Amino acid sequence: MGKEHGFSVDTSARPDVFTEANLKQYTALIFTSTNNDVFDNDDQRLAFRRYIESGGGFVGIHSVVGTERNWTWFKRMMGGTFLWHPKFQPMKLRVLAAQHPSMYGVSTTWEKQDECYFLKELSPGPTVVLASELGSLNPAEAEKIKASAGTYSALYPSAWYYDYDGGHTWCTMLGHAKTDYDEPMFVNHIFQGIRYVVSQVKTIDAGKAYAKTMDEEIR
């Protein structure tokens, strides 16, 4: 994707890359299907938080909502944390904000196989641009779906954006199957999310970062 669209990409599976000195060179950080704890220590978590506070960008894909489940600040950024998902299955998705840049080229009614993730510890803030149609899910799990969806009755968030604590984020809960990453509609979905986030990031200004600890109260 970087080669196709002309942007540079670094990849790493090592959490020791999360230092303030290193992160400031990046316009956006992308967590692709991360899950559970991904940092080795709280200094790395603080470096990540201060990057966001400095005006950085973040893109989260699929199981990212199950990442850092014990870190309140991260869960606030996600809008919640993982609760449960029905089995991998065909499902229908509906674009809620066709004019939003991250929805460019996304079919307004999109049918694909995936996992519909449900969240707990919901936090206000994110703006939803794509939703799962709950009625399209297998009725064999209807009772648990209803319980997990809470007060959502017909649609459940699947992709959203959020200007959070100084930074700019976009997340999608789609992307379970490896084949998704060769499928043009899904690849475009991810690219438009990345493009939206980097368009919001102006400069990484460390002078705007204020947190001294990973759990400091959000200003």
Q: Which domains does the chain have, with CATH numbers?
A: 27-204 (3.40.50.880)
Dist CA 137 CA 164 (whole Å): 31
Q: Quote the pLDDT of residue 41.
A: 98
Q: Quote the pLDDT of residue 189.
A: 97
Strands 89-95 vs 127-133: parallel, antiparallel or unpaired: antiparallel
Please write the tens of the pLDDT for every residue from 85-129: 999 999 999 999 999 999 999 999 999 999 999 999 999 999 999
Strand-pairing partners, residue 67, are: 36
Q: Quote the pLDDT of residue 173.
A: 97
Please write the tens of the pLDDT for every residue from 65-94: 999 999 999 999 999 999 999 999 999 999
C-alpha dist (Å) from residue 193 to 45, 99, 128, 130, 209: 23, 13, 13, 12, 24
Produce one character per residue of 46-79: b if its CB has 16 or more CB atoms within 10 Å, e if not. Answer: bbbbbbbbbbbbbbbbbbbbbbbbebebbbbbbb
* Assessment of whether the complete model's pTM goes beyond 0.95: yes
Q: Quote the pLDDT of residue 9.
A: 97
Range 169-194 average pLDDT: 97
Say which residues have a Cβ less than 8 Å from residue 3's Cβ, sequence separation at least 6. Answer: none
Say which residues have a Cβ less than 8 Å from residue 1's Cβ, sequence separation at least 6. Answer: 9, 187, 190, 191, 194
Q: Quote the pLDDT of residue 93.
A: 98
The pair of three-digit structure tokens given for residue 2, joined into one six-digit string: 């970087």
Range 164-192 average pLDDT: 97
